[in-house]
Structure 1
Amino acid sequence: MSNTLENLPLIKDASRRNFLKIAGVLGTATAFAGTLAACGSSSTSTTTTAASAAAVNKDLTIEAGISYSLSTGFDPMSSSGATPLAANLHIFEGLVELHPATREPYNALAASDPKKIDDLTYQVTLRDGAMFHDGTPVTTDDVVYSFTRVMDPANKALFAQFIFFLDSVTAVDAKTVEFKLKTAFAGFGPRISVVKVVPKAIASADQKAFDAKPIGTGPYKFVSAAKDDKIVFERNDAYNGPKPALAKSMTWFLLSDAAARVTAVQSGRVQAIEDVPYLDVDSLKSKVNVEAVQSFGLMFLMFNLSKAPFDKKEVRQALHYALDKETIIKTALLGNATAASSYFQPTHPSYQKAGTVYGFDADKAKSLLSGAGVSGLSLTLTTTDTAWVKDVAPLIKKNWDAIGVNTTLESLASSAVYGPDKVGGLKYDVVAAPGDPSVFGNDADILLSWFYRGATWAKNRFAWSDTAEYATVQTKMDAAIAATGDAQKALYKEIVDIIAEQVPLYPIFHRKLPSAWDSKKLSGFAPLPTTGLSFVGVGRSA
């Protein structure tokens, strides 16, 4: 996308529909940031959304419309795409799981809550009779393998950063696994949900084959998948865990085209869809249930701190103050977002208002630029080609142009944005993109760790890791994981305040995620506060 939109009517007329006609994206929907640049538990309902209590017919099939194609495989050590992550909620189990909708922890492969032996030792006992989809029993060796392969630096596992506190995992006996920690971690139980248990014999023999055809212990078995077509599941009749499948099978149609997705739920071809286009919410409400759930999922600005003048916090702050977030949200998202007043959304348990809140203040933005000795600034704003991001980008440009910053828009596929010629090589000015690490968990440490712990983002993507502020954040994050109650709350406030002041990567807003479903045909369905759909505990009632 170029910067030629500055002369179009959008700049003089903030009409949402006029803008969408100009941009050519009427009726399109969001796409997931390819690298998962992740969750509040409360929701904002757009219709009456009481779950259907109708009797479930376990011989029926659940059909769903999914927004995204398959961008990765299914191996839970490496899978990062939105669609396989959602699928894996049904195929695999951890020792502990988080309910996809409520985010409440429950024991899955664990027979009971993890037993704390001392501050640095926990033991977990496996549930009796658990079996993999191929009929082999789950052993403590499988559990140990599942964790140690994620912990092995050679595997560069996506989830290793979330279990950094683990020192070792060993089998005590045929039913018990022991975890030794490097440092005390108050949230041990919910956190180990990020590691899914896999069959050692199969996953270690041929990882590529396992990635393509996963075998887990979950309520549904994987049958087949085609990148831009569908994923097929069947019920795991041998499942003996707490969340059995309530349908004979599931077919997820991969409908990246928003119009096709909306038509599918309107026609009854599917019983639920995710990612309802904001413009279609009202028209769908007369036919099916629609609910927009407040999520952690954010749109962030990320600055290349290795490049002047973005190495100056005043410049970064100025570009945040220049944004009229409320108008952006109203115009581009039809109100389906909450302007950031902290790193966390207001519904999150760890929310505390940040010490620096970026309300719209164009004069302050100009003053900060002037004070930093910056004038005549020209920059390129690189964005992902996600439909709603493309809706937002021209409004950001309008705001920045208004304070004298000559802004060029560049819209690329996520893979290109994060590739070596852009973010991966620190060859960019500013990036605006979506991110949602809450798909991995809802606790404050996970949400902060994704962007601010380790090298992936802070060092390699926005070059903040050599700063004194980064070092302070690491120290405080380490202290917070061992703390509880008010002490932990105070530490997270200090961390958020540092990040909010420095804004190397920081949210503009947190989105609301609209889903649609037919409550006459689905029993127990609830929309998620994260990307994707879940049919855990959901059945067909007609």
Structure 2
Amino acid sequence: MSDHDATGRRSFLKYSGALGAAAAVSTSLTACSSGPKSTNDTDDDGGKGGSTSLTAVIGYGNDGSWDPTQTASAFAMAGNNHIYEGLVETDPITRAPYPALATAVPDAAQLRGTSWKFALRPGAKWHDGKPVTADDVVFVFDRILDPKTQTLAKGFFESWLKEVKKVDESSVELVLKFPFPDGVARLTLAKIMPKHVYAKPGAWDEAMKGKAVGSGPYRQTSHQPKTNTTFEAFADYNGPRKPAFTKMNWLTIVDAAPRVAKISGGSADAQIADNIPYANIQQLEKGGLTVDGGAGMNNLFLMFNTAHKPFDDVRVRQALHYAIDKKKMIAVALKGHGKAASSFLNEGNPTHRAARTVYDYDPGKAKKLLKEAGVSGLSISLMAVNVSWIVDCLPTIKASWDAIGVRTTLDPQETTAVFTKMDQKKDYQVVAAASNPNQFGLDADLIMHYNYGPANLWMGYARWADNSTAKQLFKQMDQATREPDADKKKTMIQEYIDIVAEQAVIYPVVHNELMTAWDPKKITGVQAQPYPGINVLKAKPATA
């Protein structure tokens, strides 16, 4: 296994918008091509009036992995959705599947079977002009399913997908281990990549650093890590989501103040920005911008080191959740843009129902649980990622825990520093961080396996996988995955989420809303995503 493959399991966490990685990673990445003379230069009129250029500001780093089989970087995933295509893509908001490189989505009868056949879109070309073939499709899925290659995408496919076979030059067959209709929406997570580009020695490392050659509506024209990535419309694109902008310049601005400044005021250079701080919403709206939010799985969670006493005791974990004044956190830190978690899933998820254990604010119950556990005089160092909205929430946690006699020290750090310590298996007590599995979809089975499972990285961090309750949970999760009846499957997932809620090993405190701002005089058709990044495949320039 190459060094890149060996580190792939954790790179998606370090580079992840799913963790809200607001800080630049320390890894030195080289640019894959020279950038424009100015990061604001789109060789157009700056996006004014009915311009066909777009400047966007992304509140996450562009220097994470760009390899579509590996990345969970908010910037890279958003960019890749414009550069690459899967056989099937999903709408960024509804997540309804639609044919992309394939000519059709399998019908209901096919989805109930174990063989899905796809014809490729006639005339589809790579950005270097060569034709897309069945060999390219097989190439990507072979990488994802290769037992010797550890990729993030493997976790989304290996449980249900047996193999992908070439039928002829322009069609493929997916062979499933068992019927799994939910898998069709996951095909968006298998971006098809040109074999003639990425089969070359060292090419996967280049993909990680930012090299991107796809078949989508936009082709990458330059990539400057920590600064910007540029795109232009691909003239030979013949797919369903036509490019509306001739050029795009996506700036990475992690710090909130300069990001807001870039889209506001008379000298605004950008027309759209994500990750808008709640405190700036009114200011931007008064300036004529539209600011809208997407409520989804984005959450602040607590993760306990169950190998560090007394956090091996479920009563202690529960007590610390009951102690948190979530209403205060939502009012003060989130300015009303959040909801207390009533399940691992957010309330808008189709599989959501309130768990049997809901951690309503109850300091009396928290004290009682600590007493029952024989715990007194507890001191906690709460290690946390330094994402701005997480940091805003930390004082409420400290005040809540201090109030029940748990002396609390806050220890916010760079996201990469936190998870490097996790990778190195260093001791810790409790971690507070952000997560958003909605980047990958709404599928509850996918979301739960992202966090829980015997070989899951998160379970390794929490040191819980060998627990007898955990082993029973994993069995129930596997049974739910294989259940063909949708209603039964939903019930089975809800039942095992009850166990996840009761155990509170990795569990959300609040789900919050993510805000996007744009200038409606310059861009229309924008929809705010409930996960980091932007998608402008349905947007277009406003008329002058």
Question: Do these two structures clear the TM 0.5 threshold for a shared fold by scoring above it?
Answer: yes
Aligned residue runs from structure 1 range 107-256, under 5 A: 107-114=99-106, 116=110, 119-164=113-158, 165-205=160-200, 206-211=203-208, 212-256=210-254
Gaps (5+ residues) in structure 2?
1-11, 19-47
Question: C-alpha offsets along residues 224-249 of structure 1, whole Å, 9 cap, x if unaligned?
Answer: 11122211000011111100101101
Report the Cα offset of residue 148 of structure 1: 1.1
SS at match of 1:155: coil
Report the Cα offset of residue 154 of structure 1: 2.6
**For the residues of structure 2 that align with 1:251 and 1:525, how far apart are their CA atoms?**
17
The more displaced of 475-484 and 182-191 is: 475-484
SS at match of 2:476: helix
Letter in 2 for 1:489: K
Aligned to 2:457: 457
Q: Superposition RMSD on alpha carbons, in Å? A: 1.9
**For the residues of structure 2 that align with 1:158 and 1:107, how far apart are their CA atoms?**
23
Report the Cα offset of residue 209 of structure 1: 2.8
Question: Which protein has greater RCO, CA pairs closer than 8 Å, 6+ apart?
Answer: 1
SS at match of 2:199: helix
**For the residues of structure 2 that align with 1:425 and 1:70, how far apart are their CA atoms?**
27
Report the Cα offset of residue 302 of structure 1: 0.4
CA contact (8 A) 2:16 2:64 kept: no
Aligned to 1:498: 499
Question: C-alpha offsets along residues 126-167 of structure 1, whole Å, 9 cap, x if unaligned?
Answer: 111111101111111100111110122332111110102111
Report the Cα offset of residue 188 of structure 1: 2.2
Report the Cα offset of residue 426 of structure 1: 4.7
Aligned residue runs from structure 1 range 100-499, under 5 A: 100-114=92-106, 116=110, 119-164=113-158, 165-205=160-200, 206-211=203-208, 212-267=210-265, 268-286=268-286, 287-419=288-420, 421-422=421-422, 424-481=424-481, 482-499=483-500
Relative to structure 1, is the Cα distance of residues 117 and 190 closer, same or farther in structure 2, using a 3 angstrom cutoff? Answer: closer
SS at match of 1:169: strand
Letter in 1 for 2:138: V
CA contact (8 A) 2:306 2:464 kept: yes
Letter in 1 for 2:71: S
**For the residues of structure 1 that align with 2:300 and 2:97, how far apart are their CA atoms?**
27
Aligned residue runs from structure 1 range 33-44, under 5 A: 34-36=14-16, 38=18
SS at match of 2:310: coil
Question: C-alpha offsets along residues 67-107 of structure 1, whole Å, 9 cap, x if unaligned?
Answer: 12223132211222211111111011101111123322111
**For the residues of structure 2 that align with 1:389 and 1:446, how far apart are their CA atoms?**
25
**For the residues of structure 1 that align with 2:170 and 2:84, how far apart are their CA atoms?**
19
**For the residues of structure 2 that align with 1:351 and 1:114, how far apart are their CA atoms?**
27
Aligned to 2:39: none
Question: C-alpha offsets along residues 264-304 of structure 1, whole Å, 9 cap, x if unaligned?
Answer: 21133111110111111011112210112212111100000
Letter in 1 for 2:157: I
Report the Cα offset of residue 508 of structure 1: 0.3
**For the residues of structure 1 that align with 2:149 and 2:402, how far apart are their CA atoms?**
45
CA contact (8 A) 2:49 2:522 kept: no
Relative to structure 1, is the Cα distance of residues 187 and 293 closer, same or farther in structure 2, using a 3 angstrom cutoff? Answer: same
Aligned to 2:55: 63
Report the Cα offset of residue 324 of structure 1: 0.6
Question: C-alpha offsets along residues 168-220 of structure 1, whole Å, 9 cap, x if unaligned?
Answer: 11111122211222233121211222110000111110222344321001110
**For the residues of structure 1 that align with 2:295 and 2:394, how far apart are their CA atoms?**
22
Aligned to 1:41: none
Identify which of 86, 95, 108 aligns with 1:94.
Answer: 86
Report the Cα offset of residue 33 of structure 1: 7.0
Aligned to 2:24: none
Report the Cα offset of residue 371 of structure 1: 0.5
Letter in 1 for 2:215: T
**For the residues of structure 1 that align with 2:215 and 2:93, how far apart are their CA atoms?**
20
Aligned to 1:79: 71
CA contact (8 A) 1:36 1:437 kept: no
Question: C-alpha offsets along residues 422-461 of structure 1, whole Å, 9 cap, x if unaligned?
Answer: 4640521000000011101111111111101342334311
CA contact (8 A) 2:453 2:459 kept: no
The more displaced of 117-126 and 181-190 is: 117-126
Relative to structure 1, is the Cα distance of residues 118 and 269 closer, same or farther in structure 2, using a 3 angstrom cutoff? Answer: closer
Question: C-alpha offsets along residues 392-437 of structure 1, whole Å, 9 cap, x if unaligned?
Answer: 1121011111111111111111111111x34640521000000011
Letter in 1 for 2:94: T
**For the residues of structure 1 that align with 2:491 and 2:444, how far apart are their CA atoms?**
12
SS at match of 2:457: coil
**For the residues of structure 2 that align with 1:37 and 1:208, how far apart are their CA atoms?**
20
Report the Cα offset of residue 389 of structure 1: 1.0
Aligned to 1:507: 508
CA contact (8 A) 1:36 1:436 kept: no
**For the residues of structure 1 that align with 2:327 and 2:51, how far apart are their CA atoms?**
48
**For the residues of structure 1 that align with 2:162 and 2:473, how far apart are their CA atoms?**
22
Q: How many residue pairs were aligned? A: 493
**For the residues of structure 2 that align with 1:110 and 1:76, how far apart are their CA atoms?**
18
**For the residues of structure 2 that align with 1:385 and 1:363, how far apart are their CA atoms?**
30
Relative to structure 1, is the Cα distance of residues 438 and 330 closer, same or farther in structure 2, using a 3 angstrom cutoff? Answer: same
| Structure 1 consecutive aligned stretches of length 4 or more whose deviation exceeds 4 Å | 56-59
**For the residues of structure 1 that align with 2:355 and 2:206, how far apart are their CA atoms?**
46
Relative to structure 1, is the Cα distance of residues 183 and 454 closer, same or farther in structure 2, using a 3 angstrom cutoff? Answer: farther
TM-score (norm 1): 0.88
**For the residues of structure 2 that align with 1:537 and 1:161, how far apart are their CA atoms?**
29
Relative to structure 1, is the Cα distance of residues 102 and 119 closer, same or farther in structure 2, using a 3 angstrom cutoff? Answer: closer
TM-score (norm 2): 0.87
SS at match of 1:172: strand
Relative to structure 1, is the Cα distance of residues 118 and 434 closer, same or farther in structure 2, using a 3 angstrom cutoff? Answer: closer
**For the residues of structure 2 that align with 1:132 and 1:91, how far apart are their CA atoms?**
10
Relative to structure 1, is the Cα distance of residues 477 and 184 closer, same or farther in structure 2, using a 3 angstrom cutoff? Answer: farther
